[in-house]
Amino acid sequence: MSSAHRSFVDGGQGQPVDPAAAGHDPVRSVVLDSWLRSRNKGVNPDAVGDGVDLDGVELERYRSAHPMALIRPVVRKLLVDDAADTGLLVAISDAEGRLLWVEGDSQAKDRALAMNFVEGADWSEDRVGTNAPGTALALDHCVQIFEAEHFSRTVHDWSCSAAPVHDPMSGQILGAIDITGGPRVAVPEVLSLIRATVAAAESELRLHLLNSPRLLGDTSPRLQVLGSERPTLVRDGDRTSLSQRHAEILLLLSEHPEGLSSDHLAVLLDESELDSVTIRAEMSRLRKVFGAAGLGSRPYRLLTELGSDVDEVRRALDRGDAAAALRVYRGPVLPGSVAPGVEDIRNDLRGRMRAALLRAGDQGLLAKWTSTVEGREDTGAWAAYLSSMDRRSPMYDQVKSRIETLDRRLGV
């Protein structure tokens, strides 16, 4: 890999140099793409910076107020506490790639000084080139970078694994969690550990936000309509139970920011169409719950931002994170609703969720899906679950038997 790196960085500044074409081992596409971005940004492969963006009181003030401070106890418990005397470092960055905390093995911290991997330093891809935390933020996806895959030669003795952390309500990137060290980091299990830590961290953030949405500056109301629990409106930490009809209207209005006429809203709410008097009466009652300032008329529309758990699942699916989507997907959209517009949203989200799980082929996610109401008789998901298993697994015969039972019941 070091020869491939040399071929790339010393290959001139004109057309991109493909190391494989020069007779070297092929470079992973995620790395080659990052090398190209790094070179196009003018990153020096022989340097990683010689200072910090934030230090002293300024750094302490910034990171103590940052949302990533809320997950630091989780990261310390799951990663840092076991990193002493292992040669490993655990770093937490902000969304711009600035390292907020770097903890772990003391000797490794001393070695990391030589490459400026310190608290307050900018480790974005734009600044230092290909590296796990910076590239994870650039791609909005977990990555591992091994030794000479780093763009900077100074980092070629290190390997790292990192994944971005998202605001569980808005989906916005808040920062990244990274493990940096030697060969021990260059194994798939470390990336799995990072993913698990991010999942725990985002769950912790979700608990904080349910109690105090202002922690992340999120003061907009949020609609919860997934699963069998009663639909809820969360605003400023207060939770208000909604009638199914009010939840249907708010969900449909959030899907149509341009607004809905009385007739169009009636069609989306009931196949037989509601009369305009009924619609006006429902909207009048909804204003008392949601607030008159938040709802407009002619057409009916939202006058304030309204988030939802449906949006959260969609954002996770859009970034290819099936695990995060399934964590939020507690069940169908308003399962008791027969409103045509809601049924369309429900079927679309279920279809996207299922397709993402089948595409990912992750055994743990498929096991969770097939245990849900929607996945219990999903023969395609059961088949994918079976194909992901070792035949020697004690669960293999059970899953196979379940598929045979479904086939007989469904006449497949």
CATH of domain 220-360: 1.10.10.10
Q: Which residues of the chain does CATH 3.30.450.40 include?
A: 2-213
Task: Give the pairing type, strands 307-308 and 222-224.
Answer: parallel
Pick the range with the lowest mean pLDDT from 13-22, 44-53, 242-251.
13-22
Query: pLDDT digit string (tens) for 350-405?
Result: 999 999 999 988 888 999 999 998 999 999 999 999 998 888 887 899 999 999 99
For residue 168, the tally of other CB atoms under 10 A from its CB is 26
Interhelix angle 276-290/244-255, nearest 10 degrees:
90
For domain 2-213, give its CATH number from 1.20.1050.10, 2.60.200.30, 3.30.450.40, 3.30.1360.150: 3.30.450.40
* DSSP element (H, E) containing 402: helix 396-410
What's the chain's average pLDDT? 88
* DSSP notation for 110-168: HHHGGGT--TT-B--HHHH-S-HHHHHHHHTS-EEEEGGGSSSGGGTT-EEEEEEEE-T
Beta strands in 259-383 (DSSP E): 295-296, 301-302, 307-308
Beta-carbon count within 10 A of 19 CB: 21
Q: CA–CA separation, 244 vs 246, rounded Å? A: 6
243 phi and psi, to 5 degrees?
-70, 160
> Are 233 and 221 a contacting pair, CB within 8 Å?
yes
> Residue 195 has what pLDDT?
93
Top pLDDT among 387 and 411 is at: 387
Q: Which residue has the higher pLDDT, 169 or 378?
A: 378
What's the average model confidence in pLDDT over 60-82?
91
pLDDT tens-digit readout, 221-278: 889 999 988 999 988 767 899 999 999 999 999 999 999 999 999 999 997 878 888 9
- Structure confidence at residue 172 (pLDDT): 81
- Identify the pLDDT of residue 15: 42
Whether 124 contacts 37, CB under 8 Å: no
With a cut of 90, say whether residue 132 has pLDDT above it: yes
**CA dist., res. 239 & res. 289, Å (int):** 11
pTM over 0.85: no
Q: Which pLDDT value is given to residue 4?
A: 86
The predicted-structure confidence for 222-232, as pLDDT tens digits, reads as follows 899 999 889 99
Task: Tell me the per-residue pLDDT of 172-208, one tens digit each, with 9 for 90 and over.
Answer: 889 999 999 988 888 888 999 999 999 999 999 988 8
pLDDT band, very low/low/confident/very high, at 321 (cuts 50, 70, 90): confident
Where, residue-wise, is CATH 1.10.10.10 in the chain?
220-360
Element (H, E) at 363: helix 363-369
Which residue, 122, 124, 120, 118, is CA-closest to 104? 118
